[in-house]
Structure 1
Amino acid sequence: MAMKKTSILIVEDDKSIAELERDYLEASGYRTDIADNGVTGLEKALGGQFDLVVLDVMLPKLSGFEVCKRIREEADIPVLMVTASRDDIDVIRGLDLGADDYMTKPFKPAELVARIKAHLNRYERLKGRKSEANEMEFRELRIDPESRRVYVKEEEVALTVKEFDLLYFLASHPNRVFNKDHLFERIWGIDAMGDTQTVTVHVRKLREKIERDPPNPSFIETVWGAGYRFRG
């Protein structure tokens, strides 16, 4: 029986860019589909047929930011955002909304393929990993590593893939300080593209979701000049 091909959705309104991305991905063995606007892209992304979404920021009908937000509310698949803007605020906003990674145009198609392979491999490892650890409880916070669910006061909190990975890693090493470089390498991978600002954004989002008073966190503490520490 033939194995099912990994499927990539390209949401891009520039036909030439979309077709170039498609050609490189299909040459690498992926099945692809293209949506040329945000509304169609969202419908296809939520259809459950794709393993990863390459999502442009500037789209007709519905922006890439809104598409990313809606995907994250309903699906747990990697999202790689693409932007023509070199403004850090766009990058931060995309990560804020749950994107796993971002690339700035223009980029080499081969780099896009490499990023996609890295995210798919990482995601498959996470899905296939069977944790032997028991649930972890820290005051009102409960982390279930097997189901990858987090609860605060028994209310489930929705986390993105990377938010959970970061929280679980820190909580698995309570009271140890990790600098941003170490966390970026550990959660995003040594070959990941980006910078430690990604870690800062994810820590802030985690605090907003799990802390009673985010500006004065009781779980994820900042150790000035050193990094972050999970208080067990």
Structure 2
Amino acid sequence: MHILVAEDEKDILNLITEQLRMEGYTIYQAFSGLEAWNLFQKETIDLALLDVMMPGMDGLTLLRKIRETSEIPVIFLTARGEEMDKVSGLSLGADDYMVKPFSLAELSARVAVQLRHLKKIKRPDVKEDIIICGELCLDRLHGTLHKRGKLIELNAKEYLLLTYMMENQEIILTKRQMYQAVWEEEYIYDDNTVMVHLSHIRNKIEDNAKEPQYMITFRGVGYKLTDPIKSEHYE
């Protein structure tokens, strides 16, 4: 998931960025409202953290412009705790509000809650026939996967597992989550079934499986399918 963080205090911006990157998110940094607006127009943003007081364009103005075209979750950050700020932000369409100084753990939790709400909105019962991730193109209708126009052969479980990961790209998935979603049975601890299938998929979709660009391992946590084209803009 891609998060825009707009904050004119460099130390706070870097702390937030480090915390959220540890959670597996892609972060776009902005030191001003105008810079944040330019990034929002250029990149695919799933959630925005906006400081209220920023040079050039304040957070309230930025939120107003965002809401003209998008309903992504927005969390306001500010050193000011006045009731009027909260009312103004929430009335313009902010989804949450945090007053500095705040706990990074609490911020992470609030971000996760907003993104869970977003996933429910973005994933209706009717699924899209085509899913794109970088140069990978998965066709649900025909049950095929292509990369740069070339067919990649997958067995049934590999196809289901990759489909699940492409549905949840940019999210770190545990072996338990993947096993229960694809095999539809209780996960057995230390069962290497998922790892074997992931290894086979990685060998098929990566140009160099030893230096993966799509399937990224987070040791002790899980795996994430990422778009390497978008990741080129990773700050």
Tell me the TM-score range normalised by the shorter chain. 0.5 to 0.7
Higher RCO (Cα < 8 Å, 6 or more apart): 2
Normalised by the length of structure 1, the TM-score is 0.53
Q: Distance in 2 between matches of 1:129 and 1:61?
A: 38
Residue type of the alignment partner of 2:21? E
Residue type of the alignment partner of 1:25? L
Which of the numbers 78, 81, 93 marks the counterpart of 1:83?
A: 78
Counterpart residue number, 1:102: 97
> Is the contact made by 1:78 and 1:119 (CA closer than 8 Å) also made in structure 2?
yes
The runs of at least 4 consecutive aligned structure 1 residues that moved more than 2 Å come to none
Residue type of the alignment partner of 1:66? T
Give the secondary structure class of the aligned counterpart of 1:33: strand
Say whether 1:41 aligns with 2:32.
Answer: no
State the superposition RMSD in angstroms.
Answer: 1.2
Counterpart residue number, 1:150: none
Q: Distance in 2 between matches of 1:103 and 1:25?
A: 16
Counterpart residue number, 2:9: 14
Say whether 1:111 aligns with 2:106.
Answer: yes
Aligned pairs for 1:179-190 (under 5 A) are none
Counterpart residue number, 2:132: none
Counterpart residue number, 1:71: 66
Using the TM superposition, give the Cα deviation of residue 48 of structure 1 relative to its aligned residue in structure 2, in angstroms. 4.0
Normalised by the length of structure 2, the TM-score is 0.52
Aligned residues: 126
Give the secondary structure class of the aligned counterpart of 1:46: helix
> Is the contact made by 1:46 and 1:74 (CA closer than 8 Å) also made in structure 2?
no
| Greater Rg by CA | 2
Using the TM superposition, give the Cα deviation of residue 47 of structure 1 relative to its aligned residue in structure 2, in angstroms. 2.4
Say whether 1:62 aligns with 2:62.
Answer: no
Give the secondary structure class of the aligned counterpart of 2:45: coil
Residue type of the alignment partner of 1:112? L
| Partner deviation per Cα, 1:86-132 (whole Å, 9 max, x = no partner) | 1111000001111111111110111111100110011111221349x
Residue type of the alignment partner of 2:75? L
Structure 1 residue runs of 5 or longer lacking an equivalent are: 1-5, 132-232
| Partner deviation per Cα, 1:122-152 (whole Å, 9 max, x = no partner) | 1111221349xxxxxxxxxxxxxxxxxxxxx
Say whether 1:122 aligns with 2:117.
Answer: yes
Residue type of the alignment partner of 2:69? E
Structure 2 residue runs of 5 or longer lacking an equivalent are: 127-235
> Is the contact made by 1:46 and 1:75 (CA closer than 8 Å) also made in structure 2?
no
Residue type of the alignment partner of 1:126? I
Aligned pairs for 1:131-210 (under 5 A) are none
Residue type of the alignment partner of 1:115? R
Give the secondary structure class of the aligned counterpart of 1:10: strand
Q: Distance in 1 between matches of 2:43 and 2:123?
A: 18
Which of the numbers 19, 27, 33 marks the counterpart of 1:24?
A: 19
Using the TM superposition, give the Cα deviation of residue 20 of structure 1 relative to its aligned residue in structure 2, in angstroms. 0.0
Give the secondary structure class of the aligned counterpart of 1:41: helix
